[in-house]
Amino acid sequence: MRVIIIFLFIQLGCVPYNVAEDFTNWHETVGIKNAEKIRQLEAYALFNQRIVGGVIAPVFAHPYLAGLLIDVGRHSPSACGGSILSASRILTAAHCWYDGRLQARQITAVMGTPYLFHGGTRIPVSAIAIHPWYNPRSFVNDIAMLYLPVKIPFSGAIQPISLPSGSLLTRDLNGEWLRASGYGRYSDVTAPTTNTMARNVHLQVMTNSRCRMFYGESVLNSTLCTYGSGGVGICQGDSGGPLTLNVEGEEVLVGVSSFVALAGCELQYPSAFARVSSYVDWIRPQLQ
């Protein structure tokens, strides 16, 4: 299996413009390095919890979140996120499977734990469906479905998330606040603490026209862009993770984390997601 991700290089002090490159070699430049940082943070958190009673964020906060450990044939794994849609399907970013250079040999889904490398339910992925028009050298159609060989044991800590339907299929969400979840960083200056495991951040949706001021024609109608408050964002490393909208107390999946600016998430460049409503017609048949 492989993953391809797109990252943007933005010169500080310059007027933002389209400088998007592609997902090529994302695993080596971002995914593997991020996974190793997560592993080290988890080791610190587990030690600190045993010694001084540190508190880990409850897994019930985002039971639909799946961590993905990805074997790309290197000495260390890469990492992504995903969203549990059913007892045997997880939605993620296509570049988490193939990044134009490295293809995943095996992906293990991790559920029901705030730790990516410790505990929880772990199931190796048996098959993957990539959007037929996915191209690792563009931002378009960066979406994929993972198939599991056995059913996920649902519990209070592991639950599927709903897809958008009805009016949500045409709602642009501009100005609304959404929640991104994952195992990666939400700050450029994250220090080791006991709450740096699976967590979430609230992000506000910006219009695509404004997002194009930063990323140019890389922003399509099927792209959903956000910025946060206080310089927070998805940063690097949460590719494939869920972006959700709370509808009458229930979280609904509206985005799949796709790309960010390499310049840094605290500089308030937008985070970009695949807009799930644009892909529902492809996603639903994969659930059969």
Q: How long, in residues, is the chain?
A: 288
CA distances from 179 to 108, 151, 242 (A): 24, 27, 8
Q: In the annotation, is 99 catalytic?
A: no
Per the DSSP assignment, residues forming a β-bridge with 6 are none
120 Rama class: left (phi>0) / alpha (psi -120 to 50) / beta: left
- Distance between CA atoms of 225 and 280, rounded to whole angstroms? 18
Report the C-alpha gap between 142 and 257 in whole angstroms.
Answer: 9
Structure-token match 């734990």, residue found: 113
Assess contact for 121 and 57: CB atoms under 8 A: no
Give yes or no: 22 in active site.
no
Catalytic-labelled residue, pool 22, 142, 271, 277: 142
142 is a catalytic site residue: yes
Phi, psi of 129 (to 5 degrees): -115, 120
- The residue annotated as part of the active site, out of 83, 218, 239, 257, is 239
Phi–psi pair at 243, nearest 5 degrees: -120, 125
Q: Which entry of 22, 95, 131, 271 is annotated as an active-site residue?
A: 95
Active site residues: 95, 142, 239
